Amino acid sequence: MIEIGVIGCGYWGPNHIRNFNLLPNSRVLRCCDKDEQRLERMRGLYPTTAITKNADDLFSDERLDAIVIATPVHTHYDLARKALLSGKDVLVEKPMTHSIETSLLLIQLAREMKRILMVGHTFEYNSAVNKAKEMLDSGELGEPLYISSTRVNLGLFQPDINVCWDLAPHDISIITYLLGALPVTVNSQGKSHYKTGIEDVANMTLSYNNGVIAFIHTSWLDPKKIRQTTIVGSKKMLLYDDLETQEKIRVYDKGVNAPPYYDTYGEFHFSYRYGDIYIPRVEEYEPLRRQSEHFVHCLEERLSPKSDGYSGLRVVSVLEAASQSLKRGGQAVPVHWPEEDRDSQTPILAAGVQS
């Protein structure tokens, strides 16, 4: 039985508690939050899980194998560091930390302590995203030309991070996972309408070595909640709508055939293909359940998780580049990547590597 402690019982933490308590080989022994009301709610829901306001109680609890951190991003580094130092395996929510520097420190510490470090990139455990990856990898969509992602809604405004750090980690992790590569540069433009210095709407452009381009649009200031990713391939196009309950993925057999070379006259000879649209079956499974199972499996078998520390670092590297680009009015900023992991850029780390 894997014994778990969860820090942060706000919006997301209780989902971790529910899932780890439902798995046959894990349970949440203790949970922690600074907010007493939130703890009382957990006590009501999970009477066998002990509550505390002090995270140190979890670090010093010899019975706990692992700590799950579901607190705001500015607390991730400190809490994850203490958890690793106390000998616990760690699952930290996205984005892994607030900077490349602190992400690297956590990776090094996990390695020194021989502990597992996993990041909550939940969409990498999502059946629809995995279906899209399968179709991309099998060549069914052809060569990827571009990917476009939209994650917008009204609120929730965050006090300390801009909309990129709040909403885009999911899109960056999805796109990085799909393409198996990091972008070379990032351009980002955005605007703060309500709190100076904290952009509430932003666009990001990720440019890749092989000419692929990806766009991410995030906003807290939009009348409609949208969660869509479009993959345009040279053969087919795929639309993934996370808000659809049944038909999350649609594949469009649509495309353009260009003449071998064209001039002004040739342009009129493009032919457009309007083929079938089909809806592949996607397994209905809670992505967080799959992620929790993977974490427990990695702990039992001492395996490196699919969304390991490096996966977290990749997302943070893109976010840092985006923040710099925002400050420079949208200029292209190179994505910083530490030399030591250069080999694992393409293809990105295989899951289930023995640690």
Window of 4-12, 202-210, 312-320, 342-350 that interacts with ligand NAD by CB under 6 A = 4-12
Sign of CA dihedral 352, 17, 36, 93: positive
Site for ligand NAD contains 146 (CB under 6 A): no
Alpha helices in the chain (DSSP H): 13-22, 36-45, 56-59, 73-85, 100-113, 127-137, 163-179, 287-301, 309-327
Q: How far is the CB of 288 from ligand NAD (least distance, A)?
A: 7
Residue 171 makes contact with ligand NAD by CB under 6 A: no
Q: Please give the Cα distance from 141 to 132 (Å, whole number).
A: 9
Piece in contact with ligand NAD (CB under 6 A), picked from 32-40, 43-51, 234-242, 270-278:
32-40
153 near ligand NAD, rule: CB under 6 A: no
Within residues 91-120, the interface with ligand NAD by CB under 6 A covers 93-94, 120
Under the binding rule (CB under 6 A), the answer on residue 49 touching ligand NAD is no
203 CB-near residues (< 8 Å, 6+ apart): 188, 189, 190, 215, 216, 217, 218
- Binding test (CB under 6 A) with ligand NAD, winner from 35, 56, 267, 284: 35
- Residue 12 interacting with ligand NAD (CB under 6 A): yes
4, 17, 73, 282: which one binds ligand NAD (CB under 6 A): 73
Interacting span for ligand NAD (CB under 6 A) from 28-36, 97-105, 129-137, 343-351: 28-36
Question: Strand, coil or helix: what is 334?
Answer: strand
The answer to whether 75 contacts ligand NAD (rule: CB under 6 A) is yes
Reduce the DSSP state of residue 211 to 3 states and report it: coil
Query: Does 122 interact with ligand NAD (rule: CB under 6 A)?
Result: yes
Rounded Cα distance, 278 and 193, in Å: 41
Q: Residues in the site for ligand NAD, rule: CB under 6 A?
A: 7-13, 32-35, 38, 55, 70-73, 75, 93-94, 120, 122
